[in-house]
Amino acid sequence: MKGVAGRVAIVTGGTVGIGRQVCLALARRGARVVAVGRSRQRLEDIGRELAALAGDSRCLALAGDVRREQDVEAMAAETLARFGRIDILVAAAGILRGGDGSLRLLKDMSLAEWDEVLDTNLRGVFLANRAVLPAMIRQGGGDIVNLSSTSGKKGLAFDSAYCASKFAVIGLTEALAVEAARYGIRVRSLLPGAIETGMWNQNGPLPRPGAILPVERVAEMVIWMLANPEDMDLDGVVIEPAARGLHSGWLAHHSKRSQEAHLCTVVPARIGRL
């Protein structure tokens, strides 16, 4: 088991949601953590939390927008200037919808809304991955975990841009994993499902699922992925609640018959892929 103690980790989207919890989990386990985000106030908040856990010398809060090439290149340069190496990247920056965050069908979506989601969720992952690779190649190893989603496996109405971006992150990750393996760099994707994050606040009148995992569960899975033995081939890890209420949340809008049909079609397909 590699562990994370002493390793230098960059986390994009590190001030909120999954990214914030990953930063805290890494700091608790002795990593040197670089939290990257856009909000100055949130950066100050996470900076104080990380310093309390690990000390000022072991953490760094950087302002940056993953959509901007110069910001992401500066992220890598400042990390190297401070710590001398980059061992881990967790690309967690992402948004659900563009514009005002309203539910919108594809036919009603503006190009600006589409671009905002794809630029953050896909361009941002590309830029962050590319920025850390030179340092990892020089070191002869490193770990990259790109946050996709279960929406990167199955599309959902109202979220075509988000789903497209998360499908693409999986493809980018799989391709880079092959390219980077020769340098001792592991590149994997993690696909959270029903997780308690601020994204649920954007769903308006749609009901919440019957079971939602706390965001800490995703952070724990990231730590496990980073620590597992190097002889394990691991990618596309899905994290979902172990049990979901069939008669609450999203499925409450289906009849019993349609629920049974859903189970009959989905379960064998999952078994077939094991």
What are φ and ψ of residue 179, in 5° steps? -65, -40
The residues pairing with 90 across neighbouring beta strands, listed in sequence order, are: 11, 145
Sign of the alpha-carbon dihedral angle for 153, 237, 31, 229: negative
Angle at 125 between CA 13 and CA 109, to 5 degrees: 85
> Active-site positions?
162
- DSSP code per residue over 203-252: -TTSPPPS--B-THHHHHHHHHHHHS-TT-----EEE--S---TTSGGGG
Cβ atoms of 2 and 29 closer than 8 Å: no
Cβ atoms of 75 and 6 closer than 8 Å: no
- CA-to-CA separations, 159 to 12, 89, 145, 166, in angstroms, rounded: 22, 26, 23, 11
- CA-to-CA separations, 140 to 69, 77, 121, 180, 233, in angstroms, rounded: 25, 18, 28, 10, 18
